């Protein structure tokens, strides 16, 4: 399937698929380079899936939950208790549960697309989505910090307490760079890079298997089995990373929010 | 062949778009999609789950409170029952002690009474015996002479009122006595 998008290859050379092959032609208008793409469709689908599932699960509101409600409560309770409550703390974590919950399941579903045959495109392997979410989080935690501490927040966030004055000229620029410049970049690129790498590995493995199978040499044909075994192992690893990255992104968001809320005690 | 692969790859990389440059349309879709999801979560999902959680917590806490109340009531009843039992035991002990003391007192009283009674009876008996003896003595005193005389009259068979005959009897008696004494002297 992937090979359809690859340039024509003779049997002698193997041309690995690159970044370009990750950007499939648009669906609407069909085949255009810039239009409504598969990635956009999947993002919209993910919103529908998540909203439908959780509204169905939460709708009945029974004290003794059924299977669907129990699953929904487990998922919701995981973000609410294991991320929001544990990181932000018992007093004002509830305000941030919706954001963390939306982030976690939005990223989770869009990542897991990469592990589903035929769909096989993690939405965040395209960097735009990761930039948007990281920006939303960036604006949110800076907003929380300013709302909580006023403009003094920037001093609290960049001048650590208990540091001798003669080290401050070194520490303050480092803090500014790490907190306000590097943080959103790493936050978005971490998600994007892991998803893109995973997607790329699956693509390369797929095209590699196809290339080997097409060879006339029987030994080379047989070697495709090795690639297949490796590809399955990588697939499992990628599935793990997809879940893990959703968790890491949400956890970091919670940590940033907590840092902004309690800037005076850091 | 290796050379060819590397060159092909290098060529491909050179032609590739920079992966860090985003597609603005995709950014827009992600932003809009996330906004819609966030709205749904804020508006429906979180309130519904929180409501269920709160209701469940309330139900469980209510149940616990009810159970605790029942427990407290049961232990209070048990305490009361124990207290009553203890009181009843003390009461029974007290009554038993009282009864024992009373019994002992009654016994002592009866003993004294019996002793007094027996003493009285003995005394009475003595007095009666004494008075009967006195009466006997008196009656004997008055009757012994008459009886003796009557007896003597019967024995003698004659009336001793005849002086001559009496004198004769006495004489004979005296004579008998003399002979007896003479015979004895010889």
Query: Which residues from B are below 8 Å from A53, CB to CB?
Result: none
pLDDT, chain A, mean: 86
pLDDT single digits (tens) A72-83:
999 999 999 999
Q: Would you give the DSSP letter of residue A262?
A: T
Interface of B with A (CB under 8 A): 1, 4-5, 8-9, 12-13, 15-17, 19-27, 29-31, 33-34, 36-38, 40-42, 44-46, 48-53, 55-56, 59
Q: How far apart are the C-alpha atoms of B97 and B104, rounded to whole Å?
A: 11
Q: Which residues contact A158 (CB under 8 A, 6 or more apart)?
A: A172, A175, A176, A179, A180
Highest mean pLDDT of the ranges A86-90, A211-215, B43-47, B180-184: B43-47
Question: CB A75: neighbour CB atoms within 10 A?
Answer: 19
Q: How far apart are the C-alpha atoms of A106 and B37, rounded to whole Å?
A: 8
Task: Output A169 or A37, whichever has higher pLDDT.
Answer: A169
**What is the pLDDT at residue B112?**
94
Of the pLDDT bands very low, low, confident and very high (cuts 50, 70, 90), residue B87 is very high
Task: Output A92 or B183, whichever has higher pLDDT.
Answer: A92
- In what helix (H) or strand (E) does residue B83 lie, and over which residues does it extend? helix B46-156
> Is it the case that residue B1 has pLDDT exceeding 60?
no
pLDDT single digits (tens) B156-170:
665 556 677 777 777
Q: Tell me how far CA of residue B155 lies from CA of B141, B163, B176, in angstroms.
A: 21, 18, 18
The answer, for A170 touching chain B at a CB cutoff of 8 Å, is no
SS3 assignment, position A8: coil
> Is it the case that residue A132 has pLDDT exceeding 60?
yes
Computed over its alpha carbons, how large is the radius of gyration of chain A?
A: 23
pLDDT single digits (tens) B90-137:
999 999 999 999 999 999 999 999 999 999 999 999 999 999 999 888
Q: Which of A11, A46, A60, A61 to mutate to test the interface with B (most CBs of B within 10 A)?
A: A61
Q: How far apart are the C-alpha atoms of A72 and A79, rounded to whole Å?
A: 11
**What is the pLDDT at residue B160?**
57
Count how many domains chain A has.
Answer: 1
Tell me which of A104-108, A117-121, B110-114 is least confident: A117-121
Asked if B9 and A15 touch (Cβ cutoff 8 Å), the reply is yes
Q: How far apart are the C-alpha atoms of A216 and A134, rounded to whole Å?
A: 49
Beta partners for residue A36, in sequence order? A28
Parent domain of A232: 2-265
Q: Is the ipTM of this complex over 0.95?
A: no
Query: Which residues from B are below 8 Å from A13, CB to CB?
Result: 1, 4-5, 8
Beta partners for residue A28, in sequence order? A36
Tally of residues, chain A: 266
User: In 3D, which of B52, B46, B66, B67 has the Cα closest to residue A63?
Assistant: B52
Q: How far apart are the C-alpha atoms of A104 and A85, rounded to whole Å?
A: 15
**What is the pLDDT at residue B6?**
44
Alpha helices in A150-182 (DSSP H): 152-158, 168-176
pTM (2 d.p.): 0.68
């Amino acid at each position: 399937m992937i090979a359809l998008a690859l340039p024509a290859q003779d049997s002698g050379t193997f041309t690995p698929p690159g970044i370009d092959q990750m950007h499939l032609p648009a669906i609407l208008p069909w085949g255009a380079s810039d239009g409504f793409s598969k990635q956009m469709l999947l993002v919209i689908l993910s919103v529908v899936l998540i909203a439908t599932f959780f509204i169905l699960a939460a709708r009945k509101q029974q004290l003794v939950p059924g299977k669907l409600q129990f699953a929904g409560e487990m998922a919701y309770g995981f973000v609410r208790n294991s991320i929001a409550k544990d990181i932000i703390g018992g007093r004002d974590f509830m305000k941030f549960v919706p954001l963390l919950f939306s982030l976690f399941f939005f990223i989770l579903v869009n990542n897991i697309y990469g592990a589903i045959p035929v769909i096989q495109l993690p939405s965040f392997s395209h960097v735009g989505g990761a930039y948007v979410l990281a920006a939303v989080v960036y604006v949110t935690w800076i907003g929380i910090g300013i709302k909580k501490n006023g403009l003094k927040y920037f001093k609290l966030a960049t001048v650590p307490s208990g540091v001798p004055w003669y080290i401050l000229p070194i520490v303050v620029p480092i803090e500014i760079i790490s907190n306000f410049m590097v943080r959103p970049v790493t936050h978005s690129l971490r998600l994007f890079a892991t998803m893109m790498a995973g997607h790329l590995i699956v693509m390369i493995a797929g095209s590699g298997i196809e290339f080997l199978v097409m060879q006339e040499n029987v030994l080379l044909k047989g070697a495709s089995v090795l690639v297949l075994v490796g590809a399955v192992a990588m697939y499992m690893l990628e599935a793990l990373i997809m879940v893990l990255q959703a968790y890491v992104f949400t956890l970091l968001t919670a940590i940033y929010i907590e840092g902004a809320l309690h800037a005076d005690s850091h | 062949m290796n050379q060819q692969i590397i060159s092909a790859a290098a060529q491909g990389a050179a032609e590739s778009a920079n992966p860090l440059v985003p597609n603005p349309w995709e950014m827009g879709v992600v932003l809009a999609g996330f906004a819609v999801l966030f709205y749904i979560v804020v508006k429906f999902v979180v309130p519904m789950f929180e409501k269920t959680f709160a209701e469940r917590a309330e139900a469980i806490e209510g149940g616990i409170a009810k159970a605790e109340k029942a427990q407290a009531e049961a232990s209070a009843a048990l305490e009361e029952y124990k207290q009553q039992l203890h009181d009843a035991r003390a009461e029974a002990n007290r009554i038993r002690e009282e009864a024992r003391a009373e019994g002992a007192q009654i016994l002592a009283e009866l003993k004294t009474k019996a002793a007094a009674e027996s003493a009285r009876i003995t005394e009475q008996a003595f007095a009666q015996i004494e008075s009967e003896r006195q009466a006997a003595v008196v009656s004997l005193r008055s009757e012994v002479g008459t009886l003796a005389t009557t007896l003597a009259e019967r024995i003698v068979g004659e009336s001793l009122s005849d002086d001559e005959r009496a004198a004769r009897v006495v004489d004979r008696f005296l004579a008998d006595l003399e002979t007896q004494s003479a015979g004895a002297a010889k």
